[in-house]
Amino acid sequence: MKYILGLIFEYHHYKKPSYLKIFTGDTLIDDIKLEDNIPFKDHNKNNHDDTMIVYCKKKPIWTYKKNTQHVNKCFLYEIDETALNDRMVFDITNDDNNYTNGFMNKFSYIKFQQIFLIPKEYFLNLEKLHDKILLQQKKQQTCKQGLKKNDLYFSYPGDLGLYDEKTDDYVRMDDLFEFKREDSFVFELPIKYIDGIYVFIPRNFPPEYIDQCEWEMSSIFLSYYAKTNLLNIYNEDQ
């Protein structure tokens, strides 16, 4: 099976290039040289409706909370499932700043908005993706016993959240300031094989909880699919 890996992030350039390496196992997927701004742009400024509808073949299939900011570039890769293992590694090199004697006010930074992994057949066909999610949700509603404190779910096809073992709670991506970084850093996204496909799951997520959690379609992914042309190179329905 083929998969589509997608990276969506804001990048602010100062003077020197930054670099983003992507690994699955020992395989280097790409070494991206960043030397131009990738800014967020506001959309729907005059639209006061808090929700948007995704259509497939003129049929409404998803309603989601609108996302008003999109970048103007996405990085998409086709990967064979044989290259996937239990995690994907993202290595960012960024030492571009005006640091002098403990003072710094100018720098390059990167802020991840979405990283997703999805079978190509679902990426090409939103209706198949919709059916897959519905089947998974129905299955979980039937067998789920619930977690210690939270009836948890994670966002599909990518979730940058973080599970906090101390509080037995789940920190959403929007609360993770670490994902706007002006330095060099490395982070990993765990990959699990669930219901016949490989899936990104939140970091530190307890393995015993995975089969009890529902998948919720990512509003960010849906907003890019519906409101931009950045994912349409693979989208036969648009």
CB 117 within 8 A of CB 198: yes
pLDDT of residue 148: 46
* 209-218 pLDDT tens trace: 777 777 888 8
Work out the angle at residue 210's Cα, subtended by the Cα atoms of residues 207 and 213, and round it to the nearest 5 degrees.
155
* 52-74 pLDDT tens trace: 666 555 555 666 565 567 888 89
Mean pLDDT of the chain: 77
Cis peptide before 119 (omega within 30 of 0): no
Closest C-alpha among 27, 80, 54 to residue 218: 54
* 118-171 pLDDT tens trace: 999 999 888 888 888 877 776 655 444 444 445 567 788 988 777 666 666 656
Q: Is the pLDDT of residue 15 over 60?
A: yes
pLDDT of residue 7: 95
Question: How far is it, in rounded angstroms, from Cα 154 to Cα 68?
Answer: 22
pLDDT of residue 90: 95
Q: Where are the chain's structural domains?
A: 2-227
> DSSP H helical segments within 48-148, as ranges?
120-124, 126-143
Cα→Cα distances 64→7, 50, 52, 217, 219, Å:
21, 9, 5, 9, 6
Q: What is the sign, positive or negative, of the torsion defined by CA atoms of 77, 81, 87, 89?
A: negative
pLDDT of residue 100: 65
pLDDT of residue 1: 94
